[in-house]
Every structure is written in C-alpha cells, then in structure tokens.
Structure 1
C-alpha cells in the first residue's frame, strides 16, 4: 500500500542566518551610538468617529496616518561607558529633532525624544541601560541656519588679511633712520623667514604649494634691502609668505598646526627702548612687523577652521577655545596699547570663529576620549568600542583622521584618542 504523502518525513531545511540579522546595525541618535535589546512601535490612523443622533452606525473620518512612536530598550557598555552615557544624554536632551538610526532596518529618520530613563548599578558595572521614547517629527532634516557661517568667516579673514599690508606701510619706515634701525628691521625680516621655514618643515608640503613657498622664502631675506624701503611691498610679501606656509598643509587641521606658531610670532622679542627718536622708530617698526605676521597668521587660522567638518561638539569646542585664546590675548594687548583698530581686527576674527563653529556644531553629539593599552589597528579599536556592524570601518577611519595617526594598522598605545560617537550616522567628512 502506498504511503500517504502527507505522512512522509520531510527533510529539515538547512540552518540559515535570519535575514533580519543581515540588516541589523548599531543604533544611534544625533551620532551618539548605543546597543539595542528590544523595541516597541506604535502606529495607526487618526480617526474621528462621529456618533450621530437616531443612527445606530457611527460615521468615521480618516484624518491621516498618526505619528509613529518607538520605545527602545538599549545600553552603553565598556570601560568608557560613562563618556558614552553622557554623550547619549546630551543628544537626547538637545533642542529640536535629531537623526535616529533604527538598529533593525538601518533607516535614518528625524524624531523627537519625548522621554528617556536610564539606570546603572554596581551589579552591572561598566554599563548604563536606557529606555527611550522617540516620536516621528515629520521634518525631512534638522532645521539649520540659512546663513553660510563658514563663508562669512572666510570673508572676514580675507578682508582683514587684505588690509594688513596697507596698514603696515603707514606704520613702518627706515627712511632717514640710523643704521641700527635698518639692522633691527633686517633682523625682523630674517626672524620671520626662519619662523616660516620652521612652520613649513612640519607640514611636508608637495608640488606647486611647496614651490610657491620656496619662491617667497627666497624673496624675503634676499630682497630685504629693497623691500625695507618699500613697506607696502614688504607687507604684501610677508602676508603672501604666511599664506604660502598655510597652503603647504594637506588638510585644514594640519593648517592649524602649521600656522599656530606664526600667530604667536614675536612673543620672545625684547621690547625696544623708546629713549630717543631713533629708538622710537625702531620700536614702532618692530611693533608694526610683529602685528603684521600675527594678524596674517590669525586670519589663516580662522580661514582653516571654516573648512573643518565637525563631527562632535567636544572637538569643535576645544578648537574654538584654543584659537579664541590666541585672538583674545592679541586683542587685549592691542587695546592696552591704545591700538583700537588692531583690537577690532582680532575681535572680528574671534566673533566670526565663534559664530561659525557654534552654528555648524549645533546638535552634534559630544565626543569622548579613549586610551588604548597597547599599539593596535584602528579597526580593532573601533570594533571594541562600537561592535561589529556597518559603521565599524567608518569609525576606524574617523579614529585615524581625528588623531593624525600615521598608519591605521598601528595606533599608538598609552595615548588618549578623540573618539567620534558615530561617524557613519552623522555623515561627516574628515578634512
């Protein structure tokens, strides 16, 4: 008798990885990442139900889809969990909607954080658990300023840099001056050339930028005798030399490191005594020359900052504070000397810097610092901090770019690293 086909044994299918795991990514909000355990979603339609007199059946009106809501149970874990906990709290409490990366689908959506709770205990040391309620915002992207603050910052820097040679020419002169006044002025030119050469040596420039710098460097000391008698040409040459030094750097962050020493030019100079008319002329020349180099370098710093794409508030704030401290010091020194025009120049640069960084870093998650115990690849560090997933490689690239690591396979141990909360989610480029 033939067997009933419905009673025949059926071979068990080969075990396969569930499709959902292939789509699973690390969740994040405003770039602050977290590991997810479960979520609940709420959706539906907005219905106005009208129950009319003397009518048994109600009349419903569909008013459209209701806003979707999600409740996420997640956690942050690791030796640096406190920094990651604080970064997530800052992101959840920030004003306005933010970008939420859904762990189960990888989709990015604009949501409000309506409520969150977190807990931590000594039983689960190194971990903070969160329960977060998100609500769909209906906004395609976060509201941003329509003002291009980076362009305004660079325009301010260009305007101030362009006015420097003319102002210098009105203050600098060796005409009919004693020989020691000319010798002192020559020494200033030589000192600027040496400072520029030392700054350029740290940038490793190549190609046309390097040839331009070398051409300008040869002009300064070699043509000092003629340039000293043409202050406008000398001012233009010095401003051009500072710009050439900045152009050698391969990216905006390297430009900051290269130009910052020039922004402090003359800090170790002895003040010239103002005991005779000749000495007064020498002191005025030194004062004008030092300001020329410093102001040109400060304008380059502000211009470079405008080209940096910020990834977290901590990095942006630290850079702002460091450059603003230089500008503040020069502005105070100029104001104390009665040089209101110079003080206004540094104040304008500082204002442009703060406005630009504040506008372009608003809403970003705060970064944190992590110190690896041993030298190891950036990919290993990214996996340890953020786990496996689509963002792991971008996190490794961010570690290299943010910390100036020479080789991604050998991140030095024992040195603190700046860590980006979630590079892929924030969609930033590292310049």
Structure 2
C-alpha cells in the first residue's frame, strides 16, 4: 500500500477543500529553571505540547465564492470540529487562525492558510465513593449498637446458674457451626488457625457468660476472624448465612427467672446474628459478581435477612440495620460496575454452540461460556426444548 492509497480528501466540518502543503508543529513542553552560579539549567518536562496543524490550500471554480464562504463559516464556528487531514486522517481540532487571500492574477480561486490545534474534552475533578470504606463504617456502627443492646439486656448477677447458662447454650450453637465448617480452597494453615480460636472460645464460654461485655467482644472478634481469615467474598457467605439463621431456644417462661433466661438466650442470638450480618455486608461488597443478576439476587437476599432481624430489634439497632441495608443497596453492585446481564434464548431448532456464539457475540471464544452455563452435554447440539441462559453486555 502506497501513500496515495492513504491520501484523503481534506475537509473541515464537512466543507471540502484542496491542500497544497501541510505542516505539523509538535514537541514537548518544558519549564527551564536557571539557578544562580550554575552554568547549566534544569529542564523540567511538563508534558507533550499541543499538536498544531497548518494547512495551506485553496478552493477553485467558477463559483468558488460558495466554497470559500462555507469554509470561512466553518472556521469561525465555536467549539472543536472534525478535520479530515489528507495525510493524518480524522482529527478533532479547533481552528485558531485562518487567513484567506484572493487576487486579480488568480481569478476563480481563493488561497488560504488554516491553523488547527488538537482539541480534547474538558475534564473536571469528580468524586468517587469508596463503597468498601462506606460498608465497613456501617458494619462497625451496627456491631457497636449490637454490643450495647446485648450488654443492656443481659442479666447475670443475682440470678440462678441456669439463667447465666442460657447465654452459654446459645454460644455453643455458634461454636458448633464454626467447628464444623469447611471452606473450599482455604489454606490448611488458615483453617488450623481458626480451629484453634474456636477451641479457645469453646473452653471459655462458661466464664464469658458471666461477663456480658467481654462475651460480646469475644463474639464479635470470632466472627470477624472468620471473614478476615478467608478474605471475605463467596468463601464465607454460606457460613455467615448459617449463623444468621440461628434461632434462640423457645423455652416457656413460667417465672421471672425463666423469662430472664429466655431473654439472655435471645439477646445472645441477636448479638451473634447482627454481627454475622454486618460481616456479610463487608464480604458481599468485596465479591466480583459474574453478572448483574447475581449481584441483585445477593442484594435482595440480604435485604430479606435485614427485614427478619429488624422485626424485634431495639431502636438503635433498627436504625443501624436500615443504614446498613441502604449502603449495601448502593454498593452491590455499584453504579460504575458495568456487569453483563442474563437473558433467555429459545432456539427454534437444535444448533451447535459455535453457531449461537457467532450469532450472539461474533466471538467463538464464548462457546465454553454458553455450554457450561447451560450444562450442555454435547456442544454440537444445543437443546431447543428449553430456554438457554446467555449473557449480554452490561
């Protein structure tokens, strides 16, 4: 291919003209710092210089006036426009200077010199919300409210042993979940570390139940360790969901002491569930969701859990729960996440996966995605008796 094959008809804002010669002024911008008693200056590079294009050209013809006036109008119009440069193709530029020359000796033509400067977009500083920080802050608030609520409801002084044991019984439910958990892909040393923490926790349950503040601190610490040890995300969501699903023993409160025992047990379960919910919010925000639909499904399930827990929550915890849900709705998924979406495709007849990948995406690398998402046994025969799930751009 020669330069003639790449040569293009010049125009500005759609007005064509002929070019005699073209030049480009470019380079680097520099701030020259000259210092006293020093012979050589320091030259500071402050970026590329704006490219300046100069075109010397003409319009010609028995009625060149119309072409000349249209070009003058294009050069005087405000804002950037598209320049078709004969040697450099399409450019977005602003015309900074235009000089038109006409004379008796050159009748029927107008010569001119046009100067253009490359034009970019005006950009303004914009603030981006750090949803990780925002969710973590809401999580801390609800844990603090949950601890205060628990300490205020627990009664362990001047009551029979079975009243104090009510909290210990509920703590053992949490210990059972943690002791029996299995997290796919988790490192053996991480599992061993958590197992040691759980063992210490189990041994101390009886003693902790006599000190509500220390017990609350320990519960929060153990559940936080669960999330931080395994990096959050999908690895721990199922475990946290199991903890959130805990329910207190429904013993009949026949006397005041039995009523307090039941309240102690419920307060303990509430603390555990509120803490697990707060950690789940942090874990959810950190997940890289495969599709927009997955993110919305996770968010709606979280909202349902908030609804259940808020039914019997005290005022402070209730407010913290509502704030946490608001933040999670904003963060899962964030507005700037352009996630692909699921849609259904019903085939009229069975076709190979390669054909559908070409039809939908013009991309044969998507074959495996179609096959695995729909659990297709033979890629050569996509089923036509059921709708297929496929992804679309976000």
TM superposition score normalised by structure 1: 0.54
Residue 259 of structure 2 corresponds to residue 280 of structure 1: yes
In 2, Cα distance between equivalents of 1:395 and 1:44: 45
Match of 2:13 in 1: 46
Indicate whether 1:313 and 2:292 are aligned. Answer: yes
Query: Which deviations, in whole Å up to 9, do the C-alpha atoms of 1:172-205 show, x marking residues without a partner?
Result: 232221122133332112111112234x224453
Whether the 8 Å contact between 1:153 and 1:306 is mirrored in structure 2 is: yes
1:421 partnered with 2:392: yes
Deviations 1:370-399 (A, max 9, x none): 89xxxxxxxx96x56534999665885899
Change over 3 Å in CA distance of 1:179–1:302 after alignment to 2? same
Q: Tell me if the contact between 1:216 and 1:237 (Cα under 8 Å) persists in the aligned partners.
A: no
Q: Verify the 8 A CA contact 1:395 1:420 in the aligned structure 2.
A: no
Gaps of 5+ in 2: 1-9, 17-62, 85-119, 347-351, 376-382
Say whether 1:185 aligns with 2:167: yes
Please report how far the alpha carbon of residue 140 of structure 1 lies from its aligned counterpart in structure 2 after TM superposition: 11
Pair 271,221 (structure 1): closer, same or farther in 2 beyond 3 Å: same
1:146/1:361 Cα in 2 relative to 1: closer, same or farther (>3 Å)? closer
Counterpart pick for 1:236 among 214, 217, 242: 217
Q: Does 1:350 align with 2:329?
A: no
1:149 aligns with 2:131: yes
Deviation at 1:228, TM superposition (A): 1.1
Task: Look up the match of 2:357.
Answer: 386
Does the C-alpha gap of structure 1 residues 369 and 192 become closer, same or farther in structure 2, counting only changes over 3 Å?
A: farther
> Which whole-Å CA distance do the structure 1 matches of 2:319 and 2:310 have between them?
7
1:270 Cα deviation after fit? 3.6
RMSD: 4.2
Q: 1:168 to 1:418 in 2, by over 3 A?
A: farther
C-alpha contact (below 8 Å) 1:196/1:241 kept by paired residues: no
Q: For 1:67 and 1:252, how far apart are their aligned partners in 2?
A: 50
Contact 1:177 1:278 in 2 (8 A): yes
Match among 334, 357, 364 for residue 359 of structure 1? 334
Q: Is the 8 A contact 2:142 2:321 kept in 1?
A: no
Contact 1:205-1:250 at 8 Å conserved across structures: no
Structure 1 pair 244/326, CA: closer, same or farther in 2 (3 Å)? same
Q: Where does residue 222 of structure 1 map in the other structure?
A: 203
Q: How much has 1:217 moved relative to structure 2? A: 0.7
Alpha-carbon separation, structure 1, partners of 2:196 and 2:14:
75
If asked which structure has higher relative contact order (CA below 8 Å, sep 6+), I would say 1
Q: Deviations over 1:91-128 (max 9, x none)?
A: xxxxxxxxxxxxxxxxxxxxxxxxxxxxxxxxxxxxxx
Preserved contact between residue 189 and residue 220 of structure 1 (Cα < 8 Å): no
Query: Gapped runs of 5+ residues in structure 1?
Result: 1-42, 50-54, 69-137, 372-379, 406-412, 427-431
Q: Secondary structure at the match of 1:281?
A: helix
Measure the CA separation in 1 of the matches of 2:370 and 2:195: 33
Say which SS state the counterpart of residue 392 (structure 2) adopts: coil
When residues 327 and 419 of structure 1 are mapped into structure 2, their CA distance, relative to the original with a 3 A threshold, is farther
